[in-house]
């Protein structure tokens, strides 16, 4: 089986600045992978490479066995940007229906998604009348419509209340059980324990690529925040 994601010496230049410096990683399908690191470390750029919207990419980015950005991947990769990219002047239902017809999926998919992202009660509300967390869920919902094999989610849980965050992580887990691969970025280290696998990024370099448990035992720490600090110091010493 092809890996869901395979990066070889991925480097990205933005203007005169290199923002990702030679990242190599391989992710097997059916996992929830956390992409962690402080703000500005290159998480979004890496995700943009995977969905094929980043320019000036060097090295190889293979997604589901094909080069990232290949037209046939567009129906198999779902991308949710950090800022909700839905139409604020349409209702939740109108947004979902539009993306459903673009993807060519049925109205039943829309109904399912309304339940998954818990927005049934707000289906006929305009998006600009919703809270930030609700908007984020509309945006997530549109990405779930086509049942993509790879979901790339940029900070999907920011601003959500803890109950909802818990529910979303449970949803991510369930999707992964069903064979979907999820790459979920976060700058909140405590979300790391919900992932099967972690990629830790700092200043455009991969600090670690491990399971949460292995990472804690390797660094001899008890929480991710500490593990991150340990890795940063180790890198500085090297």
Partner 1 sequence: MNGRVVTATARRILLQLRGDHRTLALLLVLPCVLLSLLAWVFHGVPGTFDRIGPALLAIFPLTTMFVVTSVATLRERTSGTLERLLTLPVGKLDVLLGYALAFGLVALAQTALVCALALGPLGLDVAGSTAWVVLVALLSALLGNTLGLLGSAFATTEFQAVQLLQAFVIPQLLVCGLFLPRPQMPRPLQLASNVLPLTYVVDAMQQAVAIGGSGRARVDLAVIGACIVTAVVLGAVTLRRRTA
Tokens of 108: 């039943």
Least distance in angstroms from the C-beta of 163 to partner 1 = 27
Cβ-based nearer residue to partner 1, 14 or 218: 14
Least distance in angstroms from the C-beta of 47 to partner 1 = 11
Least distance in angstroms from the C-beta of 81 to partner 1 = 5
Cβ-based nearer residue to partner 1, 113 or 200: 113
Q: Which residues contact partner 1 by CB under 8 A? A: 14-15, 51-56, 69, 71, 74-75, 77, 79, 81, 83-90, 94, 98-99, 101-104, 126, 142, 146
Instruction: Give the span between the Cα atoms of 153 and 132, in whole angstroms.
Output: 16
Cβ-based nearer residue to partner 1, 103 or 232: 103
- Name all contacts of 141-144 with Cβ < 8 Å and 24+ positions apart: 141/92, 141/96, 141/113, 141/114, 141/116, 141/117, 142/80, 142/86, 142/95, 142/96, 142/99, 142/113, 143/78, 143/79, 143/80, 144/78, 144/113, 144/116, 144/117
Least distance in angstroms from the C-beta of 236 to partner 1 = 30
Start-end of H helices in 145-203: 162-177
Cβ-based nearer residue to partner 1, 180 or 219: 180
């Amino acid at each position: 089986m092809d890996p869901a994601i395979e990066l070889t010496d991925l480097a990205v230049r933005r203007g005169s600045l290199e923002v990702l410096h030679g990242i190599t990683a391989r992710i097997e399908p059916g996992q929830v992978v956390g992409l962690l690191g402080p703000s500005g470390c290159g998480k979004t750029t890496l995700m943009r490479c995977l969905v094929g919207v980043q320019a000036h990419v060097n090295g190889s980015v293979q997604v589901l066995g094909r080069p990232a950005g290949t037209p046939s991947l567009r129906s198999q990769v779902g991308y949710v940007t950090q800022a909700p990219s839905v139409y604020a002047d349409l209702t939740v239902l109108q947004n979902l229906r539009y993306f459903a017809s673009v993807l060519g999926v049925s109205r039943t998919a829309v109904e399912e998604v309304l339940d998954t992202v818990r927005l049934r009660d707000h289906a006929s509300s305009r998006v600009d009348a919703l809270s930030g967390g609700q908007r984020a869920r509309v945006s997530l919902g549109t990405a779930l419509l086509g049942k993509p094999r790879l979901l790339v989610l940029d900070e999907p849980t920011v601003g959500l209340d803890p109950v909802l965050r818990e529910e979303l992580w449970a949803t991510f887990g369930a999707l992964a059980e069903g064979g979907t691969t999820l790459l979920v970025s976060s700058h909140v280290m405590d979300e790391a324990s919900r992932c099967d696998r972690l990629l830790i990024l700092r200043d455009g370099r991969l600090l670690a690529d491990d399971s949460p448990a292995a990472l804690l035992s390797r660094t001899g720490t008890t929480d991710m925040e500490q593990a991150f600090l340990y890795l940063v110091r180790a890198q500085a010493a090297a």
